[in-house]
Structure 1
Amino acid sequence: MLHSTLYDEKLTLQNIAEGDQDAFYELYKQYVDQLRNYIRRVTADELAADGILQEIFLRVWLNRDELTELNSFKAWIFTIAANETMRFLRKKITYRQLLLKSSIASPAQQAITPDLEYDMVELRRLIQLAVDRLSPQRRLIFSMSREQGMKPAKIAAELDLSISTVKNSLSTALKEIRSYLRDAGIVINILVILNILFKKM
């Protein structure tokens, strides 16, 4: 049974490394409660937990091409959680996480009502406006990742940049998009925004 569990996680990580968002969602479900409980215990802040979780899973997604090389994914993600939690405590940031009126769910599990469909169209429009506001290089890197499905290492080779520069650009781009949406009165979960961004808009 233990072997099967390890095999399943390895397969999930392999699928995520290949850009499979359904596998990413499964991994999210596997760890989100454990991570949330840890963050709440350390910060004693209910509102902070969701914001920190966003940063953790954003890091996982941006580093997905390295997941299959990890000896222990659990140790790795909890190290990220500890670092992000300590960063929160040092800066004393209060981050309120709101969801779209549709709760977090796999796209296949969501019932698309006319109102929700309208909301998603409007959300895509706002996201595109946010993307258009990115700096030229950041927009190019973001486009290569989103539209061409290129991994950071390949983008770095194409543009003669370091892999860390590409990853930082992608992370900053997503943060700028989320900031733009917050200014428009919309704050969404990282799973929702990734699902929209990395499918045809």
Structure 2
Amino acid sequence: MYKHTIDNATCIAFISGDKKAFESIYCAFSKSLYRRILYLIKNPDDADEILHNIFIKIWTGREHIDPDNNLYAYFMQAANSMAIDQLRKNLRTQVVHDNISLFGEGRTALSVEDSYIGKEDWKILESAIEQLPPQRRLIFKLCKIEGKSYKEVSESLSISPATISNQLVLAMKFLRQFVKQHHKEILLYCLLFDYIGRR
């Protein structure tokens, strides 16, 4: 029903930078978009921020909008994408926090031995990452550590998403083999990387 609420003239005015058209679109779409975002991420504060960012992002990039397309669908696609990105960010944060706590650094009563073991385990894993071939190492760091999507890395490095996926599979295989020769707990980091950066 929303595609009938915003007529083509309003859409064109929005693309041209008309602030009244922006307000009309905001009033027509914001409640529905907010409900969708909140349904996905279950956090009102995050939902408010994402809704705000959606309108800023689309407003600043409005010249790329095709006025003949369904504008509401365009906004909804942006809402879904940004909500999923936030979910991935929250997952990375939570898994890292749980992993650090498991190694002892998140405890209120931290022993010197626990802290040393956690840091040493990470050093071992870092040394394994540095042994990857240059391109594979770069792809791994971008996707698994920095959390970039396959699309972002593909565009940045001018390689296909399939190549990225293959390189990550090979990287994870090497890391698992490497850590088996060291501390068993380091395998938890490999599980962490399996969760992070999946696209």
**TM-score, normalisation: structure 2:** 0.41
- Of structures 1 and 2, the one scoring higher in RCO (CA 8 A, sep 6+) is 1
Larger Rg: 2
Larger helix share, 1 or 2:
2
